[in-house]
Amino acid sequence: MNPENFMLEKAAEAVGALYGQQPEEKMIQTQATRKEFEGDITLVAFPLSRISKKAPDVTAKEIGEYIKEHTPEIESFNVVKGFLNLKFSGAFWQRIFDEIFRTPDFGQQPVTGKTIMVEYSSPNTNKPLHLGHIRNNLLGWSVAKLLEANGHKVLKVNLVNDRGIHICKSMLAWLKMGNGETPQSSGMKGDHLVGKYYVAFSNQLKKEVEKLKEDGMPQQEAEREAPILKEAQAMLVRWEQGDPEVVELWKKMNGWVYEGFEQTYNRLGISFDRTYYESQTYLLGKSLVQEGLAKGIFETHPDGSVWCDLTGDGLDKKLLLRGDGTSVYMTQDLGTARQRFSEYELDEHIYVVGNEQNYHFQVLKLILKKLGFEWSDNIYHLSYGMVELPEGKMKSREGTVVDADDLLEGMYRTARETSLALGKLEDMDEQEQERLFEMIGLGALKYFIIKVDPRKTMLFDPKESIDFNGNTGPFIQYTHARIKSILRKAAALGYREESGKGKLLPKEIEIIKLLNSFPVKIREAGADRSPAVIANYAYDLAKEFNQYYHDTSILKEEDAQARGQRLALIGVIAKVLTKAMDILGIRLPERM
């Protein structure tokens, strides 16, 4: 039951009975009662005074008296100027809780019939995943789960950037410096090995640029003319021309990377419904460029490069094909967008990409619009802030990033040390303990990242994230385990969870209000594409339970009806916490 809808109906009934006129829907305005006043919901009387022809405070008093007399669910009311504050009875909140208790899929929204594609991860195959990728993956996964909770059909996709100058740099460095090294011979994960040679290329490039500068060449020219860069560019051209030797090396090194990525995805609990590869889609973009040229939307420059002039739209000129015929990211994204909207009847396509690409997606939508694709309006860039460390920004080329695999292993070790220090795992076997440590470490990492609004830059502190107190994943996991422990003890004593019996305490009513807001939070978070709303809701709910548990007797309550009601209440809290955290990709342990 929605208290707001209930009150809208009762207010309309009161106005009609008192003043002989049905109000327009927009005239009935309600809001949650402010904390400094007594009440649950507030009716704004100012718009209704136009019907009553009386002062707002008089109108509010008359409506309050009518509702109180004719609505047993209202316990009391008070008027503050033109605001009518109404307080629901305990019986009303009991009815609300009964509905929640008996609804197995509580929070799940009705099926909408909409299909939404969410693209996330989108790694380059020249380096392993790092902390920035982790935020992207966790955000993409949780947004997809959130949209599913809102009743949409969701397609989770990954676009692997498996071609281009970046992978050629790693390939060339491996040829020059690798001496045939492989993941097997080195004992390194494949993505780490390829990333090692990307850093090696960058170091060699710096040396060559410095040498050219010493010989009198300006900085920018030296960066363009460095021999190793020229070789990498030539390798890219050979790849696009299908040179067998280059293609074979490309397949081998990308294969190493894919195996490494898959291991990281599995540990993160991330998966995709479909994976696209840039090497298979970039030609689609080239064909679109030709269509744009034929329509006069694009223009060819004297060096053979192709551009789209967007200066009339307040932007700049955008390169679509280089003079040597090779494509750029924009070319690829044009092609894949067209492919996806052709393959699926998408109502929306969400790209989960960092905010440094805001301009890119602005241009993408505009070019697609100019090409005549009306579905370009259904493209949404979920722009998120970067992840920074206490010591500053990460830099891939310099090898100073926080590696995803190292971070995951570090979170596991920290969870292990913290859990063992608490000394409550004696009755768990070693295998169960290992599963618990992994669950806590992942929960800490995921929650710490997702609880931050996606649009904000965030500072990641691993130690803070795994604290068992405060707004953290382990705090919520521990809360769930505590509830499960109580319920196990209750079952062993023969106690049952029973709703609808026993008088509700004020604190219980507050918790029921919070539980009842869960579907609202799912809709709010879905509309805003922000799983952070759900993360912080889960924390608020866990915090309320812990205060309730501290102040209220449950298992020792002698009144069987009150005890059954309290067991039912904490059982629902555990279920809602599980559903909320599942949206975030976080598992909750049965015991800790």
- As averages over each run of 10 residues, the pLDDT of the chain (592 residues) reads 88 96 93 93 96 96 96 96 95 94 95 98 93 94 98 97 93 97 97 96 96 94 95 94 96 97 97 93 87 95 96 95 85 92 96 96 97 96 87 49 88 90 82 94 95 90 80 96 97 93 89 96 97 98 97 94 96 98 97 88
Among positive and negative, which fits the CA dihedral 169, 171, 177, 182?
positive
Q: Which two tokens stand for residue 248?
A: 């074979």
Per-residue tokens: 105 = 């899929």
- What does the alpha-carbon distance between residue 578 and residue 380 come to, in Å, rounded to a whole number? 29
Contact criterion met (CB below 8 Å) for 448 and 389: no
pLDDT recorded at residue 397:
44
- CA gap 245, 5 in Å, rounded: 68
Which conformational region is residue 179 in: left (phi greater than 0), alpha (psi within -120 to 50 degrees), or beta?
A: left
Q: Which CATH class is domain 404-583?
A: mainly alpha
**Where exactly are the structural domains of the chain?**
3-88, 120-288+326-388, 404-583
Amino acid in position 89? S
Backbone dihedral region of 269: left (phi > 0), alpha (psi from -120 to 50 degrees) or beta?
left
349 in Cβ contact with 157 (< 8 Å): no
**pLDDT confidence of residue 396:** 45
Instruction: Give the DSSP letter of residue 468.
Output: S
CB 381 within 8 A of CB 357: yes
Q: Which residues pair with 119 in a beta bridge?
A: 157, 351
Give the separation between CA 518 and CA 521, rounded to whole angstroms.
Answer: 5
Fold of 3-88: Gyrase A; domain 2 (3.30.1360)
Closest CA to 98 of 592, 572, 458, 574: 572
Residue pair 542/451 in contact (Cβ under 8 Å)? The answer is no
Model pLDDT, residue 392: 52
DSSP state of 499: S
Residues 6+ away with beta carbon under 8 Å from 104? none
Residues 6+ apart with CB under 8 A from 243: none
- Closest listed residue to residue 495, CA positions, set 562, 548, 575: 562
- The Cα–Cα gap between 124 and 159 comes to 9
User: What is the SS3 string spanning 45-74?
Assistant: CCCCHHHHCCCHHHHHHHHHHHHHHHCCCE
The count of other CB atoms within 10 Å of the CB of residue 352 is: 25
C-beta neighbour count of 289 within 10 angstroms: 23
Q: What is the pLDDT of residue 280?
A: 86
For 120-288+326-388, CATH gives: 3.40.50.620
C-beta separation of 401 from 372 below 8 A: no
Q: 109: which DSSP letter?
A: P
Secondary structure class of 536 (helix, strand, coil): helix
At 512, give phi and psi (nearest 5°).
-65, -40
Give the H or E element holding residue 453.
none
Write out the two tokens for 135: 């935020």
- Measure Cα distances from 429 to 2, 435, 436, 477 in Å: 46, 10, 11, 19
Estimate to the nearest angstrom the gap between the alpha carbon of 408 and the chain centroid: 19
What's the first-to-final CA gap in the chain, in angstroms?
A: 35
Residues 310 and 332: their CA atoms lie apart, in Å, by: 19
For 521, list phi and psi in degrees, rounded to 5: -65, -35
Residues 34 and 414: their CA atoms lie apart, in Å, by 42
Q: What is the pLDDT of residue 1?
A: 66
H helices of 499-559, in order, are: 506-516, 518-528, 532-551
Q: State how far the Cα of 477 lies from the Cα of 550, in Å rounded to an integer.
A: 17
Q: Nearest 10 degrees: CA dihedral of 313, 316, 320, 324?
A: 150
Backbone φ and ψ of 584, nearest 5°? -90, 0
State the burial class of residue 343 (Cβ atoms within 10 Å of its Cβ: 0-12, 13-18, 19+).
Answer: exposed
